[in-house]
Amino acid sequence: MSVIKAILVVAIVAAALWALRHRENVGLRAGGRLLLFAVGALAIVSVAVPDITQKAADAVGVQRGTDLVLYGLIITFVFTSAGLYFRQRDLEYRFATLTRALAIHQAVEPADLTGSIPELPDSTA
């Protein structure tokens, strides 16, 4: 592996770490969405002009156009998965907070003789 490749790999990893740490940054999120539009436009162009991926690959020194597309796909996939992972975790935390508030609201104290066991929601519904 040539030195430039090693540098590129390190740069990608560093960029990924940085982006994920600052995932709440508005500018970054906006950038991500603009990128999505750009990728969509590129997809249309590459359907209309199939040779263009090969030309792009030649320009950056990748052997085949399909490889270039594959690299892009992998990077997109990694970022998307990581983003979804964190979003899901944040949602889970909100969900836990909500359930906690409800549970404390419905807490039954031993002295409270009229208290009845809080019902669980019907999970089959």
Partner 1 sequence: MQGVLTELRKTFSNVVAVDDGSEDGSAAEIMKAGAVLVRHAVNLGAGAAMETGLAYALAQPGATYFVTFDADGQHQVHDAAAMVALLRTGEIDVALGSRFIESGEAQGIPRSRRLLLQAGRRFESMTSGVSLTDAHCGLRAFNRAFAQQIRLKLRGMAHASELLDVLKRSGLRYREVPVTVLYTAYSMKKGQKSINSVNIAMDVWLHQLFSRRAGR
Q: Smallest distance, Å, CB 20 to partner 1? A: 5
| CA quadruple 36, 94, 81, 43: dihedral, nearest 10 | -20
Residue 103 contacts partner 1 per CB under 8 A:
yes
Tokens of 125: 């519904």
Q: Which of 15, 34, 80, 85 binds partner 1 (CB under 8 A)?
A: 85
Q: Smallest distance, Å, CB 85 to partner 1? A: 8
Q: Which of 1, 4, 21, 125 binds partner 1 (CB under 8 A)?
A: 21
Cα–Cα distance for residue pair 107/109, rounded to 1 Å:
6
Angle between helices 65-105 and 3-21 in degrees, nearest 10: 20
What part of residues 22-81 is at the interface with partner 1 (CB under 8 A)?
Answer: 22-24
Instruction: Give 63's contacts (C-beta < 8 A, 6+ positions apart).
Output: 57
Cα–Cα distance for residue pair 71/57, rounded to 1 Å:
11
Q: Smallest distance, Å, CB 39 to partner 1? A: 24
Residue 117 contacts partner 1 per CB under 8 A:
yes
Cα–Cα distance for residue pair 42/15, rounded to 1 Å:
22
Residues that bind partner 1 (CB under 8 A): 17, 20-24, 82, 85-86, 89, 92-93, 95-96, 99-100, 102-104, 106-110, 115, 117-118, 120-121, 123
